[in-house]
């Protein structure tokens, strides 16, 4: 199968220009003016943007969490991602405390193989570190193409590791060419605030927010950065929400330290006033919680200052019935919201269309930086000769309104219901095959491939 895309504005992390792009098999073979190739398909992209397929570095598909499972599996989740222009996702494998990384990997392979429609990779969450796990970490990097290790500084008793384990993990990850990522919030302080609120009878979703003040994230982000500094390990803070946490990363730069940071689309678009809607606020119960307008401003600045490298979703959807597990107790509301489908369009509308970021910056934070940081570049994350033909043809002028009635995620509400956005995914190509056209998915379950990732380092950007 070959495709010739004519006259689109080709956008990469460094430039944008009008050109044709030719793909053959799974790869991009040529980019240039007036390309003269015979192709099975010719797509006229006049007036359209042509950019690399999105990479969402933070999703949770079919994940056991808080007594239930996230409601999108590999099929529904990667299909929804493709509809929105995300061609590759990085999901989290969770080690069960007391069990091996290998057993966890086997479980996630069963969830994904034969089911994924879009491409995917895994982060390995280390929830219980010891000498045996250290050997497995090496094996994951050397043999399995899993080079990023997720840690939790919260969710005590289920996922959290202590600082001693963190430092040991960092040492082995650094030695073998991996990266440690973190959910950086102070779990002990949060647990104490939750207990205090429940004891006072404060049980609504608003108290989820009030139990995780900004300082809990700022403190943990600074502590994590210090531990990275001490061990000289590359590190990445996931789902950064606030000014205080950003300051921790900024401060690290003053000692010539680079700590990578990700924010998520919801922290740029939504704010904590949504928790004042009584139980409806459960739709946005996630950790860390939504923050204030001043934090949104800080995060946009962080993006433009190069302190924040990626924008993910932390897609972790639950049906309304599942959210109701916390009807009388906010601490039982499964944490997470549906977003995998909307990241690219929301970020284009709010970022590029509103003039907050440039087009190359948009490509950088939606695909290129994730590919570089997580060892997939230049196979993924750019439009270049020899790269995978993962391509989004995007109409920058088309407006549409987000709704549960039209989204493709397995979730019976939309966290962005009624939001009108400017810019719409038109056609999506994944490894040389048309994946989305006329708002229809053309690929079957099983087309999605596991992407083995390479080693990484803190100087990759």
Q: Closest CB to ligand URP among 184 and 346?
A: 184
Task: Work out how close the CB of 28 gets to ligand URP at its nearest, in angstroms, rounded to a whole number.
Answer: 33
Closest residue to Zn ion, judged by C-beta, is 183
Q: Closest CB to Zn ion among 224 and 394?
A: 224
Q: State the binding partner of 366 from Zn ion, ligand URP, none, CB within 5 to 8 A by kind.
A: none
Q: Among 183, 323, 372, 458, which residue sits at the site for Zn ion (rule: CB under 5 A)?
A: 183
Q: State the binding partner of 390 from Zn ion, ligand URP, none, CB within 5 to 8 A by kind.
A: none
Q: State the binding partner of 291 from Zn ion, ligand URP, none, CB within 5 to 8 A by kind.
A: none
**Contact residues: ligand URP, CB under 6 A:** 60, 183, 286-287, 314, 316, 335-336
Q: Which of residues 214-243 bind Zn ion (CB under 5 A)?
A: none
> In three state form, how does the secondary structure of the chain look?
CEEEEEEEEEECCCCEEEEEEEEECCEEEEEECCCCCCCCEEEECCCCEEEECEEEEEECCCCEECCEECCCCHHHHHHHHHHCCEEEEEEEEECCCCCCHHHHHHHHHHHHCCCCCCEEEEEEECCCCCHHHHHHHHHHHHHCCCCEEEEECCCCCCCECCHHHHHHHHHHHHHHCCEEEEECCCHHHHHHHHHHHHHCCCCCCHHHHHCCCHHHHHHHHHHHHHHHHHHCCCEEEEEECCHHHHHHHHHHHCCCCCCEEEEEHHHHHCCHHHHHCHHHHHHHCCCCCCCCHHHHHHHHHHHHCCCCCEEECCECCCCHHHHHHHCCCHHHCCCCECCCCCHHHHHHHHHHHCCCCCHHHHHHHHHHHHHHHCCCCCCCCCCCCCCECCEEEEEEEEEEECCCCCCCCCCCCCCCCCCEEEEEEEEEEECCEEEEECCEECCCCCCCCECCCCCCCCCCC
Task: Work out how close the CB of 159 gets to Zn ion at its nearest, in angstroms, rounded to a whole number.
Answer: 9
Task: Work out how close the CB of 183 gets to Zn ion at its nearest, in angstroms, rounded to a whole number.
Answer: 3
Task: Work out how close the CB of 316 gets to ligand URP at its nearest, in angstroms, rounded to a whole number.
Answer: 4
Q: Closest CB to Zn ion among 12 and 186?
A: 186
| Stretch binding Zn ion (CB under 5 A), from 26-34, 183-191, 240-248, 375-383 | 183-191
Q: Closest CB to Zn ion among 56 and 390?
A: 56
Q: Which of residues 302-321 bind Zn ion (CB under 5 A)?
A: 314
Task: Work out how close the CB of 267 gets to Zn ion at its nearest, in angstroms, rounded to a whole number.
Answer: 12
Q: Closest CB to ligand URP among 44 and 321?
A: 321
Place of tokens 């004891």: 199
End-to-end CA distance of the chain: 34
> 87 - beta bridge partners?
none
Q: State the binding partner of 150 from Zn ion, ligand URP, none, CB within 5 to 8 A by kind.
A: none
Q: Closest CB to Zn ion among 314 and 388?
A: 314
> 388 - beta bridge partners?
27
Task: Work out how close the CB of 187 gets to ligand URP at its nearest, in angstroms, rounded to a whole number.
Answer: 11
Q: Closest CB to ligand URP among 338 and 351?
A: 338
Task: Work out how close the CB of 335 gets to ligand URP at its nearest, in angstroms, rounded to a whole number.
Answer: 3
Contact 56, 390 (CB under 8 A): no
Q: State the binding partner of 286 from Zn ion, ligand URP, none, CB within 5 to 8 A by kind.
A: ligand URP
Contact 320, 281 (CB under 8 A): no
Judge residue 343's burial from the number of C-beta atoms within 10 Å of its C-beta, 0-12 exposed, 13-18 middle, 19 or more buried: buried
Task: Work out how close the CB of 309 gets to ligand URP at its nearest, in angstroms, rounded to a whole number.
Answer: 18
Cβ atoms within 10 Å, residue 42: 14
Q: Closest CB to ligand URP among 186 and 379?
A: 186
CA-based nearest residue to 205, from 45, 335, 92? 335
Q: State the binding partner of 335 from Zn ion, ligand URP, none, CB within 5 to 8 A by kind.
A: ligand URP
Q: Closest CB to ligand URP among 154 and 429?
A: 154
Q: Number of residues in contact with Zn ion, rule: CB under 5 A?
A: 2
Q: State the binding partner of 283 from ligand URP, Zn ion, none, CB within 5 to 8 A by kind.
A: none
Q: State the binding partner of 336 from ligand URP, Zn ion, none, CB within 5 to 8 A by kind.
A: ligand URP
Task: Work out how close the CB of 432 gets to Zn ion at its nearest, in angstroms, rounded to a whole number.
Answer: 31
Q: Closest CB to Zn ion among 150 and 424?
A: 150
Structure tokens at 2: 């070959």
Task: Work out how close the CB of 431 gets to ligand URP at its nearest, in angstroms, rounded to a whole number.
Answer: 28
* Residues in contact with Zn ion, shown as a per-residue x/- string from 62 to 91 under the rule CB under 5 A: ------------------------------
Place of tokens 């993962």: 390
Task: Work out how close the CB of 284 gets to ligand URP at its nearest, in angstroms, rounded to a whole number.
Answer: 10
Q: Closest CB to ligand URP among 268 and 434?
A: 268
Interface residues toward Zn ion, by CB under 5 A: 183, 314
């Amino acid at each position: 199968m070959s495709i010739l895309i004519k006259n689109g504005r080709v956008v990469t992390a460094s430039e944008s220009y009008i050109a044709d792009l030719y793909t053959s098999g799974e790869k991009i073979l040529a980019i240039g003016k007036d390309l003269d190739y015979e192709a099975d398909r010719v797509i006229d992209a006049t007036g359209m943007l042509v950019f690399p397929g999105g990479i969402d570095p933070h999703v949770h598909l079919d994940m056991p969490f808080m007594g239930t499972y996230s409601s999108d599996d590999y099929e529904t989740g990667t299909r929804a991602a493709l509809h929105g222009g995300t061609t590759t996702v990085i999901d989290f494998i969770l080690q069960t405390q007391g069990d091996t990384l290998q057993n966890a990997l086997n479980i996630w392979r069963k969830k994904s193989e034969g089911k994924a429609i879009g491409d995917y990779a895994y982060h390995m969450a280390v929830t219980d570190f010891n000498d045996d796990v250290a050997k497995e970490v090496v094996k994951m990097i050397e043999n399995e193409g899993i080079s990023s290790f997720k840690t939790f500084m919260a969710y005590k008793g289920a996922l959290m590791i202590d600082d001693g384990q963190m430092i040991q993990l960092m040492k082995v990850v650094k030695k073998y060419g991996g990266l440690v990522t973190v959910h950086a919030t102070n779990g002990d302080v949060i647990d104490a605030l939750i207990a205090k609120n429940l004891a006072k009878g404060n049980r609504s979703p608003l108290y989820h927010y009030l139990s995780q003040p900004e300082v809990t994230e700022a403190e943990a982000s600074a502590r994590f950065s210090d531990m990275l500094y001490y061990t000289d390990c590359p590190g990445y803070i996931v789902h950064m929400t606030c000014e205080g946490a950003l300051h921790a990363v900024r401060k690290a730069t003053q000692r010539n330290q680079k700590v990578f940071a990700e924010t998520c689309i919801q922290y740029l678009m939504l704010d904590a006033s949504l928790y004042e809607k009584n139980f409806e606020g459960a739709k946005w119960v996630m950790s860390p919680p939504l923050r204030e307008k001043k934090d949104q401003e800080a995060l946009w600045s962080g993006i433009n200052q190069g302190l924040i490298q990626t924008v993910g979703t932390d897609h972790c959807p639950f049906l309304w019935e599942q959210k109701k597990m916390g009807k009388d107790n906010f601490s039982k509301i499964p944490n997470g919201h549906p977003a995998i489908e909307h990241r690219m369009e929301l970020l284009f509308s709010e970022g590029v269309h509103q003039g907050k970021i440039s087009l190359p910056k948009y490509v950088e934070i939606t695909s290129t930086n994730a590919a570089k940081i997580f060892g997939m570049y230049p196979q993924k994350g750019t439009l270049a000769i020899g790269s995978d033909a993962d391509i989004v043809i995007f109409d920058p002028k088309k407006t549409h309104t987000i709704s549960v009635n039209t989204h493709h995620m397995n979730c019976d509400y939309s966290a962005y219901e009624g939001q009108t956005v400017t810019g719409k995914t038109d056609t999506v190509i994944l490894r040389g095959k048309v994946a989305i056209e006329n708002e229809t998915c053309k690929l079957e379950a099983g087309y999605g491939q596991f992407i083995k990732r390479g080693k990484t380092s803190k100087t990759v950007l």
